[in-house]
């Protein structure tokens, strides 16, 4: 496999750099986050166009030549959907985005259409908002997927979900993993 691009904190796909302007008492406040200037001193482009090479796909070579027995190919897609509640808790991270693009209904339709167009056999979702399970994620069940969800440990609103095509795979067992941090 060839080397892939490793984004730095200044890459668009990483979210860019942010700085905190000092409050009167020299203590940072979450209300004072702003986009940090880029290397050329500008505050960033006023254009909100996504560059053509925003996502770089890399084909994995066929390196398993010694497979014995039956095998088959399948496609896995991993997608961080950004739970709406997390977006609303941390709005400063999305100050450069159009407000309409941040609405769940708009994002949900785009995410669904993109995933369906990729036609994966397995879908791994991160930052799945639990309250969206019976609306958005149910749509995948209507087109032949089955899924499992695990909420994050503690009083969190989101978790991870794995969906798979029922025509190809069968859930034999599952085990949720809880991580406790003191």
**What is the value of pTM for the model shown?**
0.64
Q: How far, in Å, CA of 123 to CA of 150, rounded?
A: 14
The one-digit pLDDT tens for each residue of the chain (182 residues) are: 334 444 444 443 434 443 333 443 444 333 333 444 445 555 444 445 566 666 666 666 666 566 677 888 899 999 999 999 999 999 999 988 898 999 999 999 999 999 999 999 999 999 999 999 888 888 999 999 999 999 988 888 899 999 999 999 999 998 888 776 66
In the chain, which residues fall in CATH 3.30.1370.190?
76-165
How many helices (H) and strands (E) the chain has is answered by 3, 6
Q: What architecture does CATH give domain 76-165?
A: 2-Layer Sandwich (3.30)
Whether 144 and 166 have beta carbons less than 8 Å apart is answered as yes
């Amino acid at each position: 496999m060839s080397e892939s691009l490793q984004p730095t904190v200044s890459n668009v796909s990483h979210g860019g750099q942010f700085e905190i302007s000092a409050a009167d008492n020299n203590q940072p406040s979450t209300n004072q986050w702003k986009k940090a200037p880029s290397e050329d001193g500008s505050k960033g482009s006023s254009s909100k166009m996504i560059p053509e090479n925003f996502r770089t796909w890399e084909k994995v070579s066929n390196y398993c030549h010694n497979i014995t027995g039956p095998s088959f190919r399948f496609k896995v897609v991993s997608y961080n959907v950004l739970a709406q509640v997390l977006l609303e808790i941390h709005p400063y991270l999305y100050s450069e985005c159009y407000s309409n693009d941040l609405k769940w209904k708009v994002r949900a339709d785009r995410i669904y259409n993109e995933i369906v167009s990729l036609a994966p056999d397995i879908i791994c979702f991160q930052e799945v908002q639990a309250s969206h399970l019976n609306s958005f994620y149910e749509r995948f069940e209507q087109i032949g997927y089955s899924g499992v969800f695990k909420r994050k440990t503690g009083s969190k609103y989101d978790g991870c979900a794995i969906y798979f095509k029922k025509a190809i795979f069968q859930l034999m067992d599952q085990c949720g993993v809880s991580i406790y941090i003191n």
